[in-house]
Amino acid sequence: MNKEYKILDNGFLKLIDFMGDDKRIVKAARISYREESVKRKDEELIDYLIRNGHTSPLEQVVFTFHVKAPIFVARQWMRHRTARINEVSGCYSLAREEFYVPLEEDLKCQTSSNSSEKEFKSLEKLSDKIKQHQKHSYELYQDMINSNIPKELSRIVLPLSLYTEWYWQIDLNNLFHFIKLRLALDSPKEIKENSPKEMCEYAKALISIVREIVPIAFNSFENHFLRGKRFSREEIIAIINALDLNKLSMDAEKLDLLKDKLGID
């Protein structure tokens, strides 16, 4: 709670509040059966829910985060319309002179690994130009404010690299979906869905927080979705034809589940 995860140059992520944990998921799932017993243990039940897409019990766990990120990250972030958001208003408050400046290593990500000294100096100049542009934009913004131009109009000269802040409340099921779309654990810095790579750093911080509060649920989510793979019908048929599934090193129960999933006897 309230631990600040420093992200990028001026950003952060903090957990402000949360409701529920692994036990809440289990209780929410078991109430479906009232007084009738469920044979599965708590860990097995959570794994069953996540693996089979029974998401309602996961929605009983809710998190509220305080996020600070560049506007271009925020706008991608808010495309996830399954959360409740309250953002700093540029109509009611003055913008702060806080801008995101990419590292030089990120600016040269599209160049070859054998970049020359000339290319390196060019990147340094580009970085300086970004900072000068940000400074000039903020000076123009201040001039407009000092000329009694309304804040909601003055802000139009500020670039997307300006930092903004918001409160973000989301349930566990939709948080897992957010992490799945925004973070590819088996990739380098790139992110799926064409989202900015900067969001990857925020997704990593979210994982650090979530795995502390719902470790059982997170382990299952990581196993089946972050590091697991889904196959098309054609791919499944090809796998069945190529393998003798009876030779797989799995216990009998898991092997039966796999065969059932693949639709074979």
Burial of residue 170 (CB within 10 Å: 0-12, 13-18, 19+) is: buried
Does 37 carry a binding-site annotation? no
Instruction: Give the pairing of strands 163-171 and 84-87.
Output: antiparallel
Does 134 carry a binding-site annotation? no
Does 76 carry a binding-site annotation? yes
Does 211 carry a binding-site annotation? no
Does 173 carry a binding-site annotation? yes
Token digits of residue 105: 């290593």
- DSSP letters along 1-58, please? ---EEEETTTEEEEEEEEE--HHHHHHHHHGGGTTS---S-HHHHHHHHHHTT--GGG
Does 79 carry a binding-site annotation? yes
Does 171 carry a binding-site annotation? yes
Of 30, 75, 96, 182, which residue is the catalytic one? Answer: 182
Does 227 carry a binding-site annotation? no
Does 34 carry a binding-site annotation? no
- Determine whether 40 is an active site residue: no
Coil vs helix vs strand at 93? coil
Token digits of residue 89: 């208003």
Residue 51 corresponds to which amino acid? R
Binding residues for dUMP, as ranges, are 76-79, 155, 182
Binding residues for FAD, as ranges, are 56, 79-81, 87, 171-173, 177
Binding residues, as ranges, are 56, 76-81, 87, 155, 171-173, 177, 182
Q: Which residues are catalytic?
A: 182
